[in-house]
Amino acid sequence: MLNLNNFMNSGIKNISDTAGRFYFGNGRGQSFMLHMVSALRKSAKIRARHEQNGTHIPPFLIASIATDCNLRCAGCYAWANGGCGGERVQEQLTAGDWRRVFQEASDLGISFILIAGGEPLLRHNVIQLAAEFEHIIFPIFTNGTMIDEYYLNLFDKHRNLIPVISIEGNAEKTDARRGAGVSKKIGQAAECLKERNILFGVSITVTTKNQNDVTEPSFVETLRGNGCGLVFYIEYVPVEKNTDHLILDENNLCILKAQIDSLRRNKKNKDIIIRSFPGDEEAMGGCLAAGRGFFHINAIGGAEPCPFSPYSEMNLKEQSLLNVLQSSFFEKIREISAAEALNHKGGCTLFQHENAVKEAIV
């Protein structure tokens, strides 16, 4: 029987070991990693104590901190599901709210808080706040166009903040989705990060149009040569009409798994972290949403199973993280995921069972 905690702790160790190789020979980076290895072990012990008392605490949390963005990318999930734009900026969690959330996460032993948006770098105060929680790693998913001298200095000083820049593959594909000139701006940002030996990553939405290009060994080798130490492959989830042709079918997903496995085995990639979502969930017994491995807090405080399943019945303005994890709604979502785990053929489980998720709301 799969021991999820041991499996995820092993995965976290693999991530930290790889990051350690990335920072080999870098004094500041190695000092940061020594601190983080100790912090990760301490957090794992805290989660284990909660487990013994009957509450499973996930090691990851996803926090969308902004309802605004300086770009309007084609097929953006945040814009499509209402997470961006409109009057929601007035309803955003305040910096004080996020401080409480981060502190609760720390007390529960959560090790990683993935920061998203909108464009999270629009909220300087929340990013600065995250920097203060030095024992938590904050990958920051950004379009990369706002990485200026202020943020370069912040990332240099606080290595627990890890910028993850969204790209679509080569410059042409990135500009086609994100706007003319975007690839040049993020290329310049990457150069600046590399000059300072700052660990950064890229996030790639994988579609039928770019799958083979972005999994080419030469593509990943180029990323590493440009200073990148982390690659997220995110399977495309349709948010617009007439985009079903971009969805990876069962055969595409099987090929993608083989492509990513090959990249991980490549000795040239020994110091680059490669992660696939939701592809990596298969090895962990299925969907990790709703607190099994992570859950999502939207910018106005709604506690959602996953960014791709934007439904909630509790809000962090009134509830604690622990109450959310112990809620009947999240328990029902975990049951949906468990029921599908044995027969799942790839892709996002909760997106494929959207009606069941809606029915779980009281």
CATH number, position 248: 3.20.20.70
pLDDT tens column, 259-309: 999 999 999 999 999 999 888 877 777 778 877 888 999 999 999 988 888
Please tell me the predicted confidence (pLDDT) of residue 181: 95
> Residue 47's domain spans which residues?
4-360
pLDDT at 9 over 90: no
pLDDT at 240 over 70: no
pTM of the model: 0.92
Find the radius of gyration of the CA atoms of the chain: 19
Task: Select from 69, 123, 134, 60 the least CA-distant residue to 97.
Answer: 123
Please state the domain count of the chain.
1
In contact, 114 and 102? CB cutoff 8 Å: no
pLDDT tens column, 104-113: 999 999 999 9
Between 331 and 220, where is the model more confident? 220
pLDDT at 1 over 50: no
Residue 157's contacts (CB-CB under 8 Å, 6 or more residues apart) are 131
In contact, 77 and 292? CB cutoff 8 Å: no
79 pLDDT band, cuts 50/70/90, is low
Query: Rounded distance, CA 197 to CA 228, Å?
Result: 10
Please tell me the predicted confidence (pLDDT) of residue 330: 86
Q: What mean pLDDT comes out for the span 148-177?
A: 95
Between 83 and 41, where is the model more confident? 41
Bridge partner list, 60: 112
Give the C-alpha distances (Å, rounded to integers) separating 291 from 59, 60, 190, 297, 333: 9, 9, 33, 11, 9
Q: To the nearest whole number, what is the mean pLDDT of the chain?
A: 89
**Strand ranges of the sheet holding 296-297, from the earlier edge strand across to the other edge:** 273-277, 228-235, 200-206, 161-167, 138-142, 112-116, 60-64, 296-297, 303-304
